[in-house]
Homo-oligomer: A and B are copies of this chain.
Amino acid sequence: MNFLEERILKSGIVKNGGVLEVDSFLNHQIDTQIAEQIGEELCRRFADTKITKVLTIETSGIAIAYPIARMLGVPLVYARKAKSVNTHGDLYVAEIPSANKKTVRRVMVSKEFLQPDDCVLVVDDILANGFTLQGLISIIEAAEATVAGLGIAIEKGMQEGGYRLRNLGYRLESVVVVDEMNPQTGAISFRTAE
């Protein structure tokens, strides 16, 4: 069992609707020691890849992406959920459907921060249906940059995002894959072999 599986068992809360709450150490309150360990592990897994930029999305991806960008010595770019008054110039935009597909949210990255020679590691804290990652990938492709891979802290293996993205040929590394969660008992089982 790795450090993040141990921490999820200790501090994660299984809720109804397939929600794994990690507010006490990864969202809302962040244990930077755990975030650093996640960063080290993902850097190790992508050590054979020349990454020039880390891309994530606000908000909860930032605390995972920050240590990775620092360790790799490359800029961290985060996609924004809404146009800010402080954003100028042309934008790459992706529309990300909500889990129930009833609404979409627009996310955007300034064109000046992604170049065709960039090799981009996409980072996020949690992977479920994969819509967010697909949106970020479409932004990298619009910039004619290269997707180095996808680095995730917690993948929900019972949802189809991970399967779909690996099937599309992307290199996806998740520190933890949760395969089952029981909101009645609180039990969580992890994928042991990848």
Binding site for B on A (CB under 8 A): 13, 15, 17, 19, 21, 23-24, 27-33, 35-36, 58-59, 62-63, 66-67, 69-70, 75-78, 80, 84-88, 109-110, 112-113
Contacts and interface: CB of A to CB of B under 8 A. Distances in A.
Contacts of A109: 28
Contacts of A23: 86-88, 110
Main secondary structure of the interface of A (DSSP, over half): mixed
Contact of A13 (B15, B31, B88, B113): B88
A19 B70 contact: no
Contacts of A31: 75
A59 B82 CA distance: 12
A95 to B, nearest CB: 19
Contact of A78 (B28, B67, B75): B28
Contact of A62 (B19, B33, B63, B85): B63
A17 B86 CA distance: 11
A95 B110 CA distance: 30
Nearest to A74: B32
B80 A28 contact: yes
A28 B13 CA distance: 31
A86 B21 contact: yes
Contact of A59 (B21, B27, B29, B58): B58
Given A19-B86, A58-B59, A66-B67, 20 more contacts: A13-B88, A15-B88, A23-B87, A24-B112, A24-B113, A28-B77, A28-B113, A29-B113, A30-B66, A30-B75, A30-B76, A31-B75, A32-B66, A32-B70, A33-B70, A58-B58, A59-B59, A59-B62, A62-B62, A63-B76
